[in-house]
Amino acid sequence: MKLTSAAFAQGKSIPVKYACSGLGINPPLMIADQPPGTKSLALIVDDPDAPSGTFVHWLVWNIHFGTKEVKEGARNIGPEGVTDARRIGYAPPCPPPGPSHTYRFKIFALDTLLDLKAGANRVQLDKAMKGHILAQAELDGEFGR
């Protein structure tokens, strides 16, 4: 499985447009090579460089298995969880001044639809996905102020 974006390449800078100092919308993501048996997709975006530990920026699950693109500024692609910004939906990169942070966009191919209500947190999503991950891919971008 492969995850790419037209907005930035692996390990490169995420444009300001997708950060809190810009429009604060999610970048476009392209998903390729979903394995046979995929029933749904889950998306997790986090920042492992946050001062308080890994910070969750976006949780989405039960994305239709045939989805090849998460459009820029996507809405209603699946149930969304609560982020560490204490909101549901995409929480854009907004690191404190200093070194760049890495933002990990991770897509998971699952062999089931998850029985998880909107508003779930990362721990609940990880638990629901356990034993159901067929494949995963990651796209990392950098952003700093």
Domains, the chain: 2-143 (3.90.280.10)
* pLDDT band, very low/low/confident/very high, at 78 (cuts 50, 70, 90): very high
Residue 145: is its pLDDT beyond 80? no
For 25-73, how does the pLDDT look when each residue is reduced to its tens digit (9 = 90+)?
999 999 999 999 999 999 999 999 999 899 999 999 999 999 999 999 9
pLDDT for 142 equals 97
Number of neighbours of residue 69 by Cβ within 10 angstroms: 14
Mean pLDDT estimate for the chain: 96
Residue 108 pLDDT level (bands cut at 50, 70, 90): very high
- What is the reported pLDDT for 127? 98
Q: What average pLDDT score do residues 71-86 get? A: 96
Q: Are 58 and 121 in contact (CB under 8 A)?
A: no
